[in-house]
């Protein structure tokens, strides 16, 4: 498995639009884009910083997983995402090494990527996402 870089750090927030003031006005980081997921009730704000990004994540309905987590006091840093060269090979390699997977097969992710999460029970409590980006990435 080839990890190319830290693609992003995911941060759970209550409201993406309200959180943008901190990232844009206070830190002076330019917004790379805002995305919603047609499959899941989630809104993302992406902030490119060097070769990586900060990804703000908010549930779009009160009963969504992300909104419930924030309401339970579980906001803040949620996960780290590694960009991999080939996600199918990476998942097969990790599975063969005994690493538990939350996603057995990749699913659609931000910027037309293919993503999969590893089970934090097997990664010392850290939620790790793997992402394979398309040849022509959606963001800078």
Whole-angstrom Cα distance, residue 15 to residue 121? 28
Task: Give how many domains the chain has, as a whole number.
Answer: 1
Whole-angstrom Cα distance, residue 127 to residue 11? 12
Provide the CATH number for the domain around residue 113: 3.10.180.10
Domain that holds residue 53: 3-132
Nearest CA among 129, 137, 44, 119 for reference residue 84: 129
For residue 69, pLDDT beyond 60:
yes
Whether this model's pTM surpasses 0.95: no
99 in a domain, yes or no?
A: yes
Lowest-pLDDT choice from 8-12, 36-40, 62-66? 36-40
For residues 5-10, average pLDDT: 97
Instruction: Note the pLDDT of residue 138.
Output: 52
Give Cα separations from 13 to 23, 60, 66, 76, 128 (angstroms): 12, 11, 8, 7, 18
């Amino acid at each position: 498995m080839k990890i190319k870089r830290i693609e992003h750090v995911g941060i759970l927030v209550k409201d993406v639009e309200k959180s943008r003031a901190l990232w844009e006005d206070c830190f002076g980081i330019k917004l790379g884009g805002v995305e919603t997921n047609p499959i899941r009730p989630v809104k993302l704000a992406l902030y490119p910083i060097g070769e990586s990004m900060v990804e703000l994540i908010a549930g779009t309905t009160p009963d969504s997983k992300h909104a419930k987590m924030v309401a339970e006091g579980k906001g803040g840093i949620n996960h780290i995402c590694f960009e991999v060269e080939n996600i199918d090979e990476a998942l097969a390699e990790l599975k063969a090494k005994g690493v538990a997977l939350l996603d057995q097969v990749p699913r659609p992710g931000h910027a037309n990527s293919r993503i999969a999460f590893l089970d934090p029970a097997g990664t010392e409590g850290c939620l790790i996402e793997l992402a394979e980006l398309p040849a022509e990435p959606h963001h800078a």
